[in-house]
Structure 1
């Protein structure tokens, strides 16, 4: 098996892990009443961009090898770094879901008896789910030895993040008021101590 194939296999295993982490929370979320939501066209565009960049487009490449012209020689060190970063992404992704519990939602929604979560990964950053997506994008860039497909995840993440994060924070401020403002003063958005 070539180094490029190893990187692709690790990427596929990471996506499978992502699905199995998310699935039970998706099923549970359907049983909790939604009090308000902020679904919008920009949110749909952002979620679609993330799905395309972190899943569909690189999945197409792994299956078909297209566009082969953008391939570059895979390196063992890059695949090792990509595997570590992708594993870290899945760890943060799982911890985030576990901490959110019944508050989790794929879209911008406030659930019945919604609580402000500030423990676990939320003690370091306000949006660790985005942190996990950013780490997935970085891991993908190292795992897939293709200039277009490797970077597609970071582009998809960036579109989602910049279209959605301000609206999400407005929703949380409206819901939790001074409590969320105090939380914002203690934490960064997605990178601990930096941003």
Structure 2
């Protein structure tokens, strides 16, 4: 088995893990009443960009090898590093969902009895879900030896982050006021101690 095949298998296993982590929370979220939301066209574009970059483009590459003109040599060290980063992404992803519990939503929503979570990964960063997507994008870049498919995850993450994080923080400030402002002063956005 080639190194590039090992990287592709690791990426597929990571995406399967992502699905199985998220699925139960999606089902539970449907049972919790939404009090307010900030759904918008830009949010839909951000979610579509993330889906395209972190799932559709790399899945198409894994299935077809296209665009093969953008391939570069696969390296074992890169696949090992990419798999480790993707595993870390899934760990953060799962912990984030677990801590959010009934507050979780795929869109910008405030749910009934919404609370500000400051434990687990939320003790270090305000948006650990985005941290997990960033880690997925970095892991994907190491796992898939193709400049387009490998880097598509980081591009998709960037679009989602830029279109959504400011709106999310404004919504949380409206909901929690000075409590959220204090939380912002105590934490970084997505990278502990840095940003």
Q: TM-score range by the shorter chain?
A: over 0.9
Name the counterpart of 1:163. Answer: 163
Segments of structure 1 that go 5 or more residues without pairing to the other structure are none
| Inter-partner Cα distance in structure 2 for 1:136 and 1:33 | 30
Q: Using the alignment, how far apart are the partners of 1:147 and 1:113 within structure 2?
A: 45
2:124 aligns with 124
Displacement of 1:163 in angstroms is 0.3
Task: Name the residue aligned to 1:190.
Answer: 190
Partners of 1:149 and 1:29 in 2: how far apart? 31
For residue 85 of structure 1, report the CA deviation from its aligned partner. Answer: 0.2
Q: Which residue of 2 aligns with 1:48?
A: 48
Cα deviations across residues 68-109 of structure 1 (Å, max 9, x unaligned)?
010011000000000000000000000000000000000000
Matched, 1:73 2:86: no
2:35 partner SS: strand
Two-structure CA RMSD over aligned residues (Å): 0.2
Give the Cα separation in 2 of the matches to 1:70 and 1:131: 27
* Equivalent in the alignment of 2:174: 174
Aligned length: 195
Structure 2's unaligned 5+ residue stretches are none
Q: TM-score, normalised by structure 2?
A: 1.00
> Which whole-Å CA distance do the structure 2 matches of 1:135 and 1:68 have between them?
24
1:90 counterpart residue number? 90
CA distance in 1, matches of 2:187, 2:2: 42
Alpha-carbon separation, structure 1, partners of 2:147 and 2:49: 18
Mapped to 1, the partners of 2:6 and 2:73 lie a distance apart of 13
How far did residue 111 of structure 1 move?
0.1
